[in-house]
Structures are given as C-alpha cells and as structure tokens.
Amino acid sequence: MITTAEEAVPAARHTGVVGVQATARITAAVRGGATTLPVLDGDGPFELRRLRPRGTEARVCIVGAMSAPLGGDRLHIETAVQQGAVLHVTSAAATLALRGPTREPATYAVHLTVEEHAELHWSPKPLICAAGSRLRQTWTIDLAPTARLVLREEQVLGRTGEPPGHVTTRLTVRRDGAVLLDQEAEYGPGAPAWDGPAVLADHRATGQILIVDPAFENTPPDARLYGDTPQTGYAALTPLAGPAALITAIAPRGLQLRQLLDTVRTSLRRPTSPTTHAETSHRRTKPAR
C-alpha cells in the first residue's frame, strides 16, 4: 500500500484543494517466457518500484511519496495481470491513515484483474488507522476461472497508546463473472458494536488472507480454528465455494496478528492441481519398456 510519514506534508496539500486525487496503474504481461511490466505508473502518493524478479515472477513495491490517505483524499489502484503472467505486489512500510483537513472520509479503491492461468500475490504491509482518521476502502477483484490469487489484508486500529480511527472496508471477489466473496466490515468510533464480544472485543488488530486456487475444487482445505487465548489472538481457516480458502484473524496488536496469519498460512499447503495429479499418475502407471 503506501508508506507514510505524518510529519511530511507536501506542498500539494497547501494549494487550497481539499484532498488529493491519485491513481496508480500496474500491468503484468508475459514476454519471452517471463513476466514483464509494460505499465507501471503512479502519481500523487504512489511511487511504484520494480523489485528483482524471482524466476518468472515480476515484483513491485509501492512506496509513499506523501502522507496519505488523509480525510478528503481519493486514491485508486488498478492492477491487471494478463494471461500467464505472475505478479507479486508488496509495500515498503505500513499505510498510515490520518485525520485530514476535512471531516470527509478518505477513499481508497483497489481494482485487481487476473486473467487465465495468471497469478497475483498481493501482500502489503498493514493499514494503521490513527486516531481521528476516517477511511473507506474497497477491493474489487475479477478472476478468470484458471486464475490464482493470494490476497493479504491487515488492519491495526490506532497507534500505540491512542484511540482507533474509523474504517469501513468492502471486499468483492468475482470468479468467471460469479460472486465468490462479498463482505463488508466497519470498525472504530461510530461503528455498531465493533468492540463488543461478537466482533473484536479488546483486540485492536484484524486481518485476513484470501487464497483462490482452481486446485481447491477437488481438494478443499478442512475448516480449522487456531489460537486459544486473548493474548495470542484467534484465527479461523474456512473453505469457500469458488474454489477458495479464507483465513481470518484477530489479535491484540499488529505483530501478533502477523504471526498468527503466517502460522495459518504455513499450515495450508497448496493442493496438487487435477492436471498435475493426473499426469503424475499416468507417469507412475506407465509400463516400463
């Protein structure tokens, strides 16, 4: 997402315009057997950096060029992973949502498209909602039937020793045009019962990992619960129709949340795809000459 520094207030915020409007665009495509980045363009708070590729995977890091999101900002990221491409997107540091010059919430919209036989890993650092901040975040994801996705989302409500900000997040995932997952969550002052026992209680960090993989059609994961104390947090692994698996977790603080999500993610092994399994069985049963 965006690296931010609360003390860095750029000149763009002193022009009399309330809020910054900015869009970042990333396109990954296959050229010569490897994934390339024909489109890598960011403005405003978005600075996009190419990282060293890993095999056929292209990698991008999003770095913040100014404090964002602040109240009144309108930020947008569009990412397209074309057929057969593999892309990993991360961020240099946490995104810090701050109180802005207006009571209008900031909006942060992310639109991801993954085409046939393509793969996207989206794993930014956490979103920290500082006291007084107001943010509306939306994720809209369109997947082809053979696309693979690993999406990680972490939210920390308030910095150490301060009250939380307010955040509303909506995640909509479509696979082959059909809705795979559609959920909305709201936390912070003014959100109904967000700190009650049915939601976060005393925990101030929450997150999830969504994994969409065609191989889950034949071998879906088993539902499991992780964590057994309020001090370590709690997590659940849930298979979804689609095929997909959703890991959700809550924890007292961001570090414990990250550790809990990593533990569950490590325990979830990627299943063997039906094609690979069939080919392997054929090779094993083929009589020797």
Q: Minimal CA–CA distance to 175: which of 107, 228, 243? A: 243
| Residue 273 confidence (pLDDT) | 55
Contact 229, 260 (CB under 8 A): no
How does pLDDT run across 62-78, given as a tens digit for each residue?
998 778 899 999 999 99
Q: From the CB of residue 129, how many other CB atoms can be counted at a distance below 10 Å?
A: 27
Q: Minimal CA–CA distance to 154: which of 228, 210, 222? A: 210
Look-up of token digits 């600075």: 47
| Residue 192 confidence (pLDDT) | 93
Look-up of token digits 């900015």: 22
Between CA 24 and CA 20 the distance in angstroms is 13
Between CA 76 and CA 109 the distance in angstroms is 5
DSSP readout, 5-56? -TT---GGGGSS-SS-EEEEEEEEEEETTEEEEEEEEE-TTEEEEEEEEETT
DSSP readout, 163-186? ---EEEEEEEEEETTEEEEEEEEE
DSSP readout, 194-247? TTSTTTTTT--EEEEEEEE-GGGGTSPPPPEEEEEETTTEEEEEEEETTTEEEE
Look-up of token digits 């569009």: 78
pLDDT in tens, the chain (289 residues): 443 333 333 434 444 456 899 999 999 999 988 999 999 999 888 999 999 999 899 999 999 877 889 999 999 999 999 999 999 999 998 999 999 888 899 999 999 999 999 999 999 999 999 999 999 999 999 999 999 999 999 999 999 989 999 999 999 999 999 999 999 999 999 999 999 999 999 999 999 999 999 999 988 899 999 987 888 899 999 999 889 999 999 999 999 999 999 999 998 876 655 543 333 333 333 443 3
How does pLDDT run across 215-268, given as a tens digit for each residue?
999 888 999 999 878 888 999 999 998 899 999 999 999 999 999 999 999 988
**Type of residue at 264:** V
- For residue 99 the two structure tokens come to 């109180």
| Residue 122 confidence (pLDDT) | 98
- For residue 35 the two structure tokens come to 């994934």
| Residue 64 confidence (pLDDT) | 82
Contact 155, 206 (CB under 8 A): yes
Its pTM stands at: 0.86
Between CA 205 and CA 12 the distance in angstroms is 32
- For residue 242 the two structure tokens come to 């689609």
